[in-house]
Structure 1
Amino acid sequence: MSEVIPFRRRAAPLPAPVRGLELLRMEAEDARPATVLFLHGAAGAAWMWAEHLMAALAASGWRTAALSFRGHGASAGRESLHGFGLIDYLVDARAAIAALGGPVVVVGHSLGGLVAQMLLGDPRIRGLVLLAPVPPEGLAGANWRLAFTDPVLWQEVARMPWADAAGTRPVRLRSALFSDALPDHLAWGYIARLQSESLRALAEAQWPRPVASARLVGVPALVLGAAEDPLVPRDALLRTAWLHGAEHATMDRLGHAMMLDAGWPRVAETILRFLAARVP
């Protein structure tokens, strides 16, 4: 049985293993019916949500949970990481939803945003929030654009599958992930916690992947972009928002990893406004 804790100021989420997967959970007093499930992006893990957003939403009455896909964080499978694909991550997300029980709102960041879109059609999903998501059209076009406009950043991103062995500081990646408002010691501390990402999953994310439209399946959706994010272009975000009939906002003074950036409270506030207005 999964362990949960009620929200208290400065409380940390407790691990609740699901078939070898790391699933952090935080309860809330007088909680809403749905649980907010966070899905991390490439090279990340559940810890990225435990830093700020899990507690921020729990303080406003939302049960929260954060999953580490297989091979990430404390989940099993690190030795087989490069053989895992997007379907494997989708299976993990479905297992987490089953373990949580009841309706969920899925919040996905970057690669996790693509997995979140792949979940559409599941009747347990009551809301969708995408933070700088990989678009269903794939990232090939955006990557080619990045290679020509910022080759140094493109090379640093290309080395991310081997992040565990990185020996130099990726300066351009720091500015892509975080705004200058985030102190350097925090930015470099977060970057040091990044890990390798599956080569297979990254390759699959380059190409178009059919997903259901949130609008057509009756799921309210929100798409958030970051003004200082060169990794997911604004035009791709707008097309993703259009596909899903989603509310959309591009937030100033935030980098790609907006949930860890200095402006994370604005991200939390925007999500909470959406949840209050659109998710019963």
Structure 2
Amino acid sequence: MLEVIDKGGPTATRKTPLLFVHGAFHGAWCWDDHFLDYFADRGYHALALNLRGHGGSPSPAPINECGVFDYVQDVHTVAGRLPVAPVVIGHSMGGFVVQKYLAVHSAPAAVLVASAPPTGIAAATVRVACKNWRDSLSTRSFRRPLDFFAAPGVSRKTFYNPATPDEVVTACTARLGPESVRVLYRDLLYRRLARPKRVTTRMLVLGAELDGFFTPREVAATARAYRTEPVMFPAMGHNMMLEHGWEAVADRIDRWLGETLS
């Protein structure tokens, strides 16, 4: 059984549940720190799953053998248990999983938060490796990517803006877990790229000005692929739901959902 953190419940004005999908190395905890309570307090049924091999969710195969379609199936499994189709909200790799999910499943709306673009993460992978080349050479970054991304300097520069307090970076980095090499270095690089033309769901695309992974230009391209305009947050890093200022991100999602689901 997949582990799901479940808060709140449907109300007369908020009947559609929200299903949050975490990014690489993260887990449902990244939504539980702030977002789940925020949206539950506003009358939503808010849920965050741990994809297989993350947190308390078991995996029938070693995590390095898991593919992006396995993660899509996990989202489908949790969504299928709900009485109505949920809004799907994905961060980073989770945003890519959401894009793949929406190509074959319907949803009332979707939100991409600092998401991997539909064209994949090849450019981002090269940028991060070049910026942190010493750590890239000194860790088992291809066989155990967690060794690289959990290195203190890499974690800060990649996931957070420079002003993020050390205690936030340290606490969150300590909770990072293993990620699938197959997903990172095959599916999201070239093998299983997204197909925006198959997606008809209304989409909100959010980006961070100081994102260590994806540039504002890539965020704009993602929004364009889904026939919308991006919303950029200044002075924020990749982990928009964990940094100071997360409330502004949640507020923007809440306003958009109010307009979109009404």
Deviation per CA, 1:67-103, whole angstroms, max 9, x where unpaired?
A: 1100001100287111101010011010010012302
Give 1:129-278 correspondences, 5 Å limit: 129-148=111-130, 151-152=133-134, 159=141, 162=144, 169-203=151-185, 204-207=187-190, 209-213=193-197, 217=200, 219-278=201-260
Q: Which runs of 5+ in 2 are unaligned?
A: none
Shift in Å at residue 145 of structure 1? 3.7
Deviation per CA, 1:216-248, whole angstroms, max 9, x where unpaired?
A: 62x221111111112112222111101111341
Distance change in 2, residues 1:180/1:87 (3 Å):
same
Q: Which runs of 5+ in 1 are unaligned?
A: 1-19
1: distance between equivalents of 2:203 and 2:19? 14
1: distance between equivalents of 2:259 and 2:138? 40
2: distance between equivalents of 1:47 and 1:272? 20
2: distance between equivalents of 1:205 and 1:123? 20
Shift in Å at residue 152 of structure 1? 4.8
Deviation per CA, 1:100-131, whole angstroms, max 9, x where unpaired?
A: 23021110000000010111145640111001
1:26 aligns with 2:17: no
Distance change in 2, residues 1:166/1:247 (3 Å):
closer
Shift in Å at residue 213 of structure 1? 3.8
2: distance between equivalents of 1:92 and 1:51? 22
**Is the CA contact (8 Å cut-off) linking 2:31 and 2:241 kept in structure 1?**
yes
2: distance between equivalents of 1:98 and 1:28? 16
Aligned-residue CA RMSD (Å): 2.6
Shift in Å at residue 156 of structure 1? 8.9
* Alignment size in residue pairs: 259
Q: Which residue of 2 aligns with 1:14?
A: none
Q: Secondary structure at the match of 2:94?
A: helix
Point out 4+ residue stretches in structure 1 off by more than 3 angstroms. 121-124, 145-169
Distance change in 2, residues 1:133/1:148 (3 Å):
same
Q: Secondary structure at the match of 1:261?
A: coil
Deviation per CA, 1:161-212, whole angstroms, max 9, x where unpaired?
A: 7366679842142133122443211210100100110101112111261324
- Larger RCO: Structure 1 or Structure 2 (Cα < 8 Å, ≥ 6 residues apart)? 2
1: distance between equivalents of 2:209 and 2:35? 20
TM-score, structure 2 normalization: 0.89
Q: Which residue of 2 aligns with 1:5?
A: none
Distance change in 2, residues 1:260/1:166 (3 Å):
same
Distance change in 2, residues 1:25/1:39 (3 Å):
same
1: distance between equivalents of 2:96 and 2:173? 22
2: distance between equivalents of 1:46 and 1:131? 15
Q: Secondary structure at the match of 1:250?
A: strand
Code of the aligned partner of 1:211: R
1:109 to 86, 91, 97: 91
Moved more, 21-30 or 270-279: 21-30
Q: Which residue of 2 aligns with 1:50?
A: 32
Moved more, 195-204 or 24-33: 24-33
Code of the aligned partner of 2:194: P
Identity among equivalent pairs (%): 31
Shift in Å at residue 59 of structure 1? 1.3
Shift in Å at residue 150 of structure 1? 5.1
TM-score, structure 1 normalization: 0.83
**Is the CA contact (8 Å cut-off) linking 1:156 and 1:172 kept in structure 2?**
no
